[in-house]
Amino acid sequence: LGSVGVLLAIPAWCWLPSPDTTGISEQGQVLDDKPPSRLFLKLMLVVYFCAGFGFVISATYIVAIVENQDELRGQGEMAFLILGVFAAPACIFWDLISRKTGILNALLLAFIVHAMGIVLPVIGHTLWFALLSAALYGFTFVGIVSIVLTMAGRFYPTKPAKLMGMLTMSYGVPQIVAPTIAGYLAAATGHYDASLLMASGFVMFGSLVILAIKKWASKDVDLLESTS
């Protein structure tokens, strides 16, 4: 599979268009960067940190979580397959949701559903709970990333990587720390319930921070929505 990926990467690289540095949209509009306030940026870094924490525990251990339950032995690969199937179209759906509800409302919804998906295996130990968890998790983690990166592009249309880099760092740091903590908790308890509750708790805290952004950085939210 790795070799196939390398072969497919060659034509993809050749067909990759050159970056547009004109600063003008396809409609002829001049693109202006509209940086968010420091408060908005700090809060959003916390939000994305929480997203990274919630993402990585399920991503790392989802197969083990399923296989660790006697009645679900042999179903771990099925759960991972369901995760991928629901993740594939997620960007399209969350873009549509963002257009209908507003980008920050869509992000809040994605966080809430994401937290629910993470905690489902704790609530019920049946195959249906495991598969529903995988489906909700796959559908939302891709959506969260796509929404946040779209947000960065709206604030910095001429150089979106400026904000994307900071956000990605915030998203990546917990992906180093969280699996280690989850592994210790699993070793101490013999199951992953505490790890999943911790991950879901971080995501729910991120939801509260999104509400704080809506209240305390409303000008940035209005600016964000006006650039859609």
pLDDT tens by residue, 37-59: 999 999 999 999 999 999 999 88
How confident is the model at residue 72, as a pLDDT? 74
Q: In which band, very low, low, confident or very high, does the pLDDT at 139 lie, cut at 50, 70 and 90?
A: very high
Domain segments of the chain as ranges: 43-219
Q: Is 123 in contact with 129 (CB distance < 8 Å)?
A: yes
pLDDT digits (tens, 9 = 90+) for 173-226: 999 999 999 999 999 998 899 999 999 999 999 999 999 999 999 999 998 888
Helices (H) and strands (E) in the chain, counts: 9, 0
Which range (3-7, 27-31, 98-102, 137-141) has the least confidence?
A: 27-31
Per-chain mean pLDDT for the chain:
90
Query: Whose CA is closest to 224, among 40, 38, 28?
Result: 40
Mean pLDDT of all residues in 67-91: 87
The architecture in CATH of the region 43-219 reads Up-down Bundle (1.20)
Residue appearing with tokens 């990759």: 16
The answer, as to whether pTM is greater than 0.85, is yes
**Which neighbouring-strand residues pair with 145?**
none
Stronger pLDDT, 69 or 97, i.e. the higher one: 97
Residue 26: pLDDT above 80?
Answer: no
Q: How far apart are the first and last CA of the chain?
A: 39
